[in-house]
Amino acid sequence: MVRYVRRTPPAGPVAEVLAAQPQAAPAPQARETPPVMPVPAGAPLPAAAATDSAAAWSVLTAQVAACTACGLSRTRTHTVPGVGDRNADWLIVGEAPGAEEDARGEPFVGRAGKLLDAMLRAIGLDRQKGVYITNIVKCRPPNNRDPAPDEVAACAGFLERQIALIQPKLILAVGKVAAQNLLGSEEPIGRLRGRVWRWRGTDLPIVATYHPAYLLRSPLEKRKVWDDLCLAQDVYRQRSSGAA
Ligand code: URA
Ligand code: SF4
């Protein structure tokens, strides 16, 4: 059985971000295979002809920019396809662009994004290097509501394509919407976090954690996020060393 070691949050500026109450009981660490996420009908998959990676990314980006497959296209300012390293080992998936992301066309650039950056820095990651950041839907839902199931289904093909192109070693799902949709589950995030899942029966691990916007409202949960990040890092290291 694989054991994951709990570590103490780092000192320094990151401590402000991640230090919080110790958690009473360790989260379960069972490996489970989630139900398969349904493949949406009419998902806007790019043409299979684009085999060259740079060309495939151009196709994908152009398709997102022109996409009108769901109603969010009518209210967006910019599409927000994703940012970062296209050869990243870590794929971070959030929920949906907010107001600042919609204005700039880049994910996680608002307050929650600053906290996400600090979370990544705490485990030695950077949004430009080794990490790619995207969302379940690429356009902003009005008033920051949760994306509706038909919008998620319409957009799912883009995320599938990104996973296929990036071939990450680990997916970190941040927040309920990302976790539930990636895992095809309706369980609350508190039950999805703290353990290792797999992407659709493949060996690609998924670790879920709380959304930084939730942490801004509930700072006492930061300890759990730190635990989840350590879990993700352990899984990643084992996978990189060929043990997982
Ligand atoms: N929240 C998200 O889930 N994604 C973003 O890009 C910004 C805020
Ligand atoms: Fe297209 Fe996704 Fe934007 Fe909907 S949210 S219009 S499916 S890119």
**Tokens in use for 242?**
């060929």
- 129 vs 24, more confident: 129
CA-closest residue to ligand 2 atom 2: 155
CA-closest residue to ligand 2 atom 4: 70
Pocket of ligand 2 contains residue 72 by CB under 6 Å: yes
**Whole-prediction pTM:** 0.83
Q: 56-78, pLDDT tens digit by residue? A: 999 999 999 999 999 999 999 99
Residue 137 Cα to ligand 2 midpoint, Å, equals 6
Pocket of ligand 1 contains residue 166 by CB under 6 Å: no
From 3.40.470.10, 3.50.40.10, 3.30.60.50, 3.40.120.10, which CATH number describes the 81-244 domain?
Answer: 3.40.470.10
**Tokens in use for 93?**
């998936």
> What percent of the chain is predicted at pLDDT more than 90?
75
Residue 145 Cα to ligand 2 midpoint, Å, equals 15
Q: 226-244, pLDDT tens digit by residue? A: 999 999 999 999 999 876 5
Please check the confidence at residue 175 and state whether its pLDDT lies above 60. Answer: yes
**Tokens in use for 18?**
């991640």
* All structural domains of the chain with their residue ranges: 81-244
